[in-house]
């Protein structure tokens, strides 16, 4: 149960010191009750009060930062079960798995790949997020050495995976100040793990197989003073993952089980279905996904799916309206009009590039709507097209007055001709057919 | 003890039967009942709930098919019977979806040939079929009529009805007791509207499969993903006009830049991976028929669906 503002107020120091940024303890309490402030902002709370308040006042899923600097990433602070209800905010970090039994060269090369590899999609660079180091050797020295090698190559967020606090401790000598994620505290070792996490100020994974055991462990660790937790459900099948991850998300956002309000960790390297684990991790609420280094195909597909699912559905990505060139179009090059929805733009541009016919793209401002929805909503109309032609000075660029419009905009063709004085050619509905269309209809 | 997680759903997804065995009046070796879900996909407590079906797509004129499939399948693509047989026996598909791409040729008029193509595939495989009819409104009526007629009793799934052209396909489905695919452009309200139109001309709910239209991964897939989730959500909340199973067919997947421009040594892997990622994500959003065109995608999806079945019984949420 969430605490009311007055109940929270009772636990605060009532000094009205303003150090939290609020004018009084009462206003701070009200913010805490609404999930809009973090208890850590109050410097005078003891650990016990923090633990009591922590579970009931923070955002339904705690935000946890992993790593430091440019490549660090934040996970958690999510509010919904479905992205269409609002949006998913913090995309999962996908980290590549290395073992301390691998040669220094192998470790170096995987680290370099994560450091350097990027795919550009719809104007954004997509990258993998960090490295998970596994203490497969079970020796302290090799583990620390592997972490040292990685630290020499790149400043990437790390996940340190070992059952031995001695090995973790040795590794943390190299990277303890860079907020690596420590894996993992269990019922048996949580006190030692919490001490390590506290000493270095690092986030900590807690691991248990049942939801109630996880909640118990979260409470224990929180009482030990570690609140930056990530939960490992160690599912035995894809089914178990979907069931428990959905359960955690639902119980957390409804605050039915505040002790489950932490991001979820998923080890996708178990078994042979790694791609399937990654897909489910991305769509079903995992926040840190550990995978073996991926093939080119899986790498692109995984990063693309992550980008798709974490795109804010309320804000379609838009292009600036105006005139764009594909290749070096001349005076007789075709002019293709379409909307400023980025997906439409990049899809059409891709097909135009492979058609190898230099041309102009005239992008009109439909507020990010696709052709179909813009036509239906009246956001694409002849006035807009006329103004776009004027503003873009396209009439100075080409020696003809022929405008190719998208197939779905066909109902507007007459009105566009009247308003602009341009001759309208109705193109295909499907951008994939634009090459054929230009070859047959334009070049004729 | 576990946590008690209840979503408070009120309505189940309606069931649709695909294919008919001999005892059901057809000649298929199996028939499927899809739908019937009572909660979010893959969270059914009842472990007998069936996995999504994988439909392998073939066509009768490969000129209109992605080059990568033509290369991979070789000569098979020129013989719709052999192709269907292979998809059944070798690729391991659950259903075959035949696209009558011949009808896309200019001034196409050989309607009897379409009936023959359907008959050929019916005899080449005993799996339930999806028949994707004409793309040309002028010949819709004749094509659907012919396909429906030659497959009477087989409980085909006929595709594809849209808001501005659904009468011919509905007429054929009604006359010969087939089901149909109702496609709307990635919008829960348009999907509902089309279902109501279909109901008004007599198509029963248990004869409709919703196709919310699947944008390709990286090219609008997220819109389709959310449309599917919303349709499922509305259905579970009791909206009977949306309580039908869904089909996902990301038809443009094998012609996108990532696949087209992949180096030839990894092109097949890229194609199958792209289909796998979108197909699996769509299944999680609620699609119960996943259509694919690359043979290597079929076993990958099958294996994943196997691991997604509730077999362990240790679930703590329902």
B2 and A211 within 8 Å at the Cβ level: the answer is yes
Over residues B201-216, the mean pLDDT reads: 95
CA angle B198, B200, B201 (to 5 degrees): 70
Give how far A120 is from chain B: nearest CA, Å. Answer: 11
Instruction: Indicate the SS3 state at residue A285.
Output: coil
Q: Do B41 and B286 contact (CB within 8 A), yes or no?
A: yes
Q: What is the mean pLDDT of chain B?
A: 92
Interchain CB contact of A255 with B (< 8 Å) = no
Q: Could you tell me which chain B residue has the CA closest to the CA of A370? A: B220
pLDDT over 60 (residue A1): no
pLDDT for the residue A36: 73
Domain harbouring B113, CATH code: 3.20.20.20
A80 part of contact set with chain B, CB < 8 Å: no
DSSP B39: S
- The count of C-alpha atoms lying within 13 angstroms of the C-alpha of A106, restricted to the half-sphere facing its C-beta, is 12
Instruction: Report pLDDT digits (tens) over B78-131.
Output: 999 999 999 999 999 999 999 999 998 888 999 999 999 999 999 999 999 999
Report whether pLDDT(B45) > 80: no
Q: Indicate whether B85 belongs to any domain.
A: yes
Task: Check B225 against A283: CB less than 8 A apart.
Answer: yes
Q: Residue A123: its pLDDT value, please?
A: 73
Q: How many domains does chain B have?
A: 1
Residues of B in contact with A309 (CB under 8 A): 222, 225, 281
- The rounded mean pLDDT for chain A is 92
Asked whether residue B203 is assigned to any structural domain, the reply reads: yes
Please list every residue in chain B whose beta carbon sits closer than 8 Å to the beta carbon of residue A272.
Answer: 303
What is the C-alpha separation between A191 and A99, in angstroms, rounded? 26
Residue B3 located in a structural domain = no
d(CA B202, CA B206): 11
Q: Residue B201, Cβ neighbours under 10 Å: how many?
A: 11
Contacts of B257 in chain A (CB under 8 A): 350, 354
Instruction: Quick: pLDDT tens for B130-147.
Output: 999 987 888 999 999 999
* Coil, helix or strand at residue A205: strand
* Any A CB within 8 A of B163 CB: no
φ and ψ at A356, to 5 degrees? 55, 40
Q: Given this model, what pLDDT does residue A48 score? A: 80
pLDDT of residue A49: 81
User: Which residues in chain B (51-110) have CB-CB distances under 8 A to chain A?
Assistant: none
Strands (E), A365-401: none
Stretch A210-231: mean pLDDT:
95
Residue B221 forms contact with A (CB below 8 Å): yes
Q: Is the pLDDT of residue B312 over 70?
A: no
> Is the preceding peptide bond at A68 cis, omega within 30 degrees of 0?
no
Residue at B271 is within a domain:
yes
Residue B97 lies in a domain: yes
Q: What domains does chain A contain, in order, with CATH numbers?
A: 5-45 (1.10.15.40), 59-309 (3.20.20.20), 322-442 (3.40.50.11600)
Q: Closest residue of A to B2, CA-based?
A: A212
Is B289 among the domain residues? Answer: yes
Residue A13 has pLDDT above 50, yes or no: yes
User: Chain B partners of A339 at a C-beta cutoff of 8 Å?
Assistant: none
Task: Considering only the beta carbons, identify the residue of A212, A271, A300 that sits closest to B2.
Answer: A212
Task: Give the C-alpha distances (Å, rounded to integers) separating A92 from A63, A71, A211, A305.
Answer: 12, 13, 21, 11
What angle do the packed helices A211-223 and A190-200 form, to 10 degrees? 50
DSSP 3-state of A315: coil
CA distance A279 to chain B (A): 6
Q: Left, alpha or beta for B24 (phi > 0: left; psi -120 to 50: alpha)? A: alpha
Q: What share of chain A is helix, strand, coil (3-state, %, to 5)?
A: 45, 15, 35
For the record, the structure tokens of B223 come out as 């819109």
Least confident of A424-433, B48-57, B307-316: B307-316
Nearest of A3, A1, A19, A15 to residue A53 by alpha carbon: A3
Would you call A237 and B307 a contact, using CB atoms and an 8 Å cutoff?
Answer: yes
Q: Give the contacts of A350 (CB within 8 A, at least 6 positions apart).
A: A431, B256, B257
Integer Cα distance of A181 and A229 in angstroms = 9
Using 50, 70 and 90 to split pLDDT, how confident is the model at A99?
very high
Give dist(CA A389, CA A379) in Å, integer.
16
Q: How do residues A403-413 score in pLDDT, each as one tens digit?
A: 999 999 999 99
Q: What average pLDDT score do residues B176-203 get? A: 95
pLDDT in tens, B244-303: 999 999 988 998 889 988 999 999 999 999 999 999 999 999 999 999 999 999 999 999
Nearest residue in B to A355, CA atom: B257
Output the pLDDT for position A347: 84
Q: Which residues have C-beta within 8 Å of that of residue A18, sequence separation ≥ 6?
A: none
Q: Determine the Cα–Cα distance for residues B25 and B308; give it in Å rounded to an integer.
A: 33
Q: Which ipTM was obtained for this model?
A: 0.95
Residue B226 to residue A211, Cβ atoms within 8 A = no
Testing the interface with A: which of B49, B214, B218, B265 to mutate, by most A Cβ within 10 A?
B218
A298 Cα to chain B: minimum distance (Å): 6
- If DSSP codes are grouped into helix, strand and coil, which group holds residue B8? coil
For residue A23, what are the β-bridge partners?
Answer: none
Predicted pLDDT of residue A10: 86
pLDDT at A271: 74
Q: Report the pLDDT averaged over residues A42-57.
A: 77
Of B242, B246, B249, B267, give the one whose Cα is nearest residue B257. B267
pLDDT tens readout for residues A142-180: 999 999 999 999 999 999 999 999 999 999 999 989 999
CB contact under 8 A, B270 and A239: no
Mean pLDDT, residues A224-252: 94
Strand partners, A291: A96
Q: What are phi and psi of B317, to 5 degrees?
A: -125, 150
pLDDT band at residue B2 using 50, 70 and 90 as cut-offs: low
Q: What's the whole-number mean pLDDT along residues A310-330? A: 87
A153 to chain B, any CB pair closer than 8 A? The answer is no
Enumerate the H helices of chain B as residue ranges. Answer: 67-73, 80-86, 111-124, 137-150, 167-176, 188-200, 221-236, 257-260, 267-285, 297-307
Q: Give residues with Cβ within 8 angstroms of A281, minimum separation 6.
A: A92, A241, A266, A268, A289
Q: In the prediction, which pLDDT does B316 show?
A: 41
How far is the C-alpha of A37 from the C-alpha of A48, rounded, in Å? 18
The whole-number pLDDT of residue A256 equals 87
pLDDT value, residue A52: 75
pLDDT score, position A423:
95
Among the partner-chain residues B5, B222, B255, the one whose CB lies closest to the CB of A309 is: B222
Residue B156 lies in a domain: yes
Going by the DSSP 8-state scheme, the letter that residue B57 receives in this structure is E
Contact between B47 and B310 under an 8 Å Cβ cutoff? The reply is yes
Six-digit token string for A225: 């003073």
H or E, element range at A212:
helix A211-223
The distance of B232 to chain A (nearest Cα, Å) reads 11
The answer to whether B225 contacts A276, with C-beta atoms less than 8 Å apart, is no
- Lowest mean pLDDT: which of A51-60, A297-306, B136-145, B202-211? A51-60
Chain B residue whose CA is closest to A317? B220
pLDDT exceeds 90 at position A278: yes
Distance, in Å, from the CA atom of A280 to the CA atom of A241, rounded to the nearest integer, reads: 8
Model pLDDT, residue B317: 43
Q: Give the residue-averaged pLDDT of A316-334.
A: 89
Q: Are B98 and B117 in contact (CB under 8 A)?
A: yes
* DSSP class per residue in B86-99: HIIIII--SEEEEE
pLDDT-derived band of residue B313, with 50, 70 and 90 as boundaries? very low
Average of pLDDT values for A336-360?
89
* Segments forming the whole domain that contains residue B267: 19-305
User: CA-based Rg of chain B, rounded to a whole angstrom?
Assistant: 19
What's the pLDDT score for residue A363?
Answer: 94
Asked whether residue B10 is domain-assigned, the answer is no
Element at A173 (helix H, strand E): helix A165-175
Q: Which residue in A83, A246, A272 is closest to B317 by CB distance?
A: A246
**Model confidence at A419: pLDDT above 90:** yes
Q: Which residues of A touch B267 (CB under 8 A)?
A: none
Copy the structure tokens of residue B294: 């690359």
Identify the CA nearest to B12 among candidates B47, B49, B63. B49
- How many Å apart are CA B115 and CA B70, to the nearest integer? 24
Contact B3 A347 (CB under 8 A): no
Kind and range of the H or E run holding A404: strand A402-405
Contact B312/A246, CB-based, under 8 Å? no
């Amino acid at each position: 149960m969430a605490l009311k503002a007055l109940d929270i107020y009772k636990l605060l120091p009532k000094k009205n010191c303003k150090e939290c940024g609020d004018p009084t303890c009462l206003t701070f309490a009200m913010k805490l009750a609404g999930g809009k402030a973090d208890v850590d902002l109050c410097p005078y709370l003891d650990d016990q009060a923090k633990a009591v308040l922590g579970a009931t006042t923070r955002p339904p899923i705690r935000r946890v930062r992993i790593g430091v600097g440019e490549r660090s990433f934040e996970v958690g602070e999510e509010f919904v079960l479905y992205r269409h209800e609002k949006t998913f905010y913090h995309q999962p970090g996908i980290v590549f798995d290395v073992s301390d039994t691998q040669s220094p060269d192998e470790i170096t090369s995987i680290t370099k790949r994560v450091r350097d590899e990027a795919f550009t999609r719809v104007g954004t660079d997509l990258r993998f997020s960090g490295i998970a180091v596994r203490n497969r050797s079970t020796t302290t020295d090799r583990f620390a050495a592997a972490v040292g090698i990685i630290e020499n190559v790149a400043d990437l967020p790390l996940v340190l995976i070992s059952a031995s606090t001695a090995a973790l401790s040795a590794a943390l000598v190299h990277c303890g100040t860079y907020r690596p994620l420590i894996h993992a505290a269990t019922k048996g070792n949580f006190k030692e793990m919490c001490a390590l996490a506290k000493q270095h100020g690092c986030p900590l994974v807690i691991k248990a197989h049942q939801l109630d055991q996880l909640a118990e462990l979260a409470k224990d660790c929180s009482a030990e003073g570690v609140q930056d937790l990530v939960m490992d459900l160690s599912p035995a099948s894809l089914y178990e993952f979907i069931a428990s991850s959905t359960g955690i998300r639902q119980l957390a956002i409804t605050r039915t089980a505040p002790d489950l309000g932490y991001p979820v960790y998923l080890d996708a390297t178990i078994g042979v279905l790694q791609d399937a684990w990654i897909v489910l991790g991305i769509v079903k609420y995992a926040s840190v996904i550990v995978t073996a280094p991926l093939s080119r195909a899986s790498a692109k597909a995984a990063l693309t799916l992550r980008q798709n699912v974490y795109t804010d559905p309320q804000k379609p990505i838009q292009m600036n309206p105006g005139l764009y060139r594909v290749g070096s179009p001349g005076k007789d090059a075709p002019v293709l009009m379409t909307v400023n929805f980025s997906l439409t733009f990049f899809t059409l541009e891709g097909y135009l590039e492979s058609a190898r016919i230099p041309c102009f793209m005239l992008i009109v401002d439909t507020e990010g709507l696709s052709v179909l929805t813009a036509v239906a909503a009246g956001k694409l109309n002849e006035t807009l097209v006329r103004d776009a032609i004027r503003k873009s000075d396209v009439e100075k660029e080409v020696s003809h007055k022929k405008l190719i419009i998208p197939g779905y905009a066909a109902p507007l063709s007459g009105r566009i001709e009247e308003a602009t004085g341009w001759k309208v050619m109705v193109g295909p509905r499907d951008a994939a057919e634009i090459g054929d269309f230009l070859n047959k209809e334009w070049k004729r | 003890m576990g946590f008690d997680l209840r979503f408070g759903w009120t309505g189940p997804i309606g069931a649709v039967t695909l294919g008919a065995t001999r005892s059901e009046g057809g000649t298929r070796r199996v028939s499927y009942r899809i739908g019937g879900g009572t909660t979010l996909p893959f969270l059914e407590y009842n472990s007998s709930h069936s996995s999504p079906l994988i439909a392998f797509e073939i066509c009768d004129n490969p000129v209109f098919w992605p080059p990568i499939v033509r290369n991979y399948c070789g000569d098979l693509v020129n013989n719709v019977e052999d192709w269907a047989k292979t998809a059944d026996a070798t690729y391991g598909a659950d259903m075959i979806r035949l696209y009558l791409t011949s009808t896309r040729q200019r001034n196409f008029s050989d309607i009897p040939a379409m009936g023959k193509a359907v008959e050929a595939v019916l005899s080449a495989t005993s799996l339930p079929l999806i028949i994707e009819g004409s793309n040309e409104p002028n010949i819709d009526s004749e094509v659907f009529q012919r396909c429906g007629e030659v497959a009477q009793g087989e409980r085909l799934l006929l595709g594809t009805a849209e808001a501005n052209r659904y009468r011919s396909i509905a007429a054929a489905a009604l006359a010969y007791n087939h089901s149909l695919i109702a496609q709307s452009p990635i919008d829960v309200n348009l999907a509902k509207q089309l279902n109501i139109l279909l109901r008004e001309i007599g198509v029963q709910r248990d004869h409709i499969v919703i196709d919310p239209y699947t944008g390709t991964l990286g090219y609008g897939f997220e819109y389709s993903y959310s449309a599917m989730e919303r349709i499922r959500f509305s259905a579970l909340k009791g909206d009977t006009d949306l309580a039908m199973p869904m089909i996902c067919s990301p038809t443009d997947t094998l012609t996108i830049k990532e696949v087209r421009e992949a180096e030839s040594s990894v092109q097949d892997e890229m194609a199958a991976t792209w289909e796998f990622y979108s197909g699996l994500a769509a299944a999680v959003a609620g699609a119960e028929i996943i259509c694919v065109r690359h043979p290597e995608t079929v076993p990958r999806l099958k294996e994943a669906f196997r691991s997604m079945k509730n077999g362990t019984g240790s679930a703590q949420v329902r």
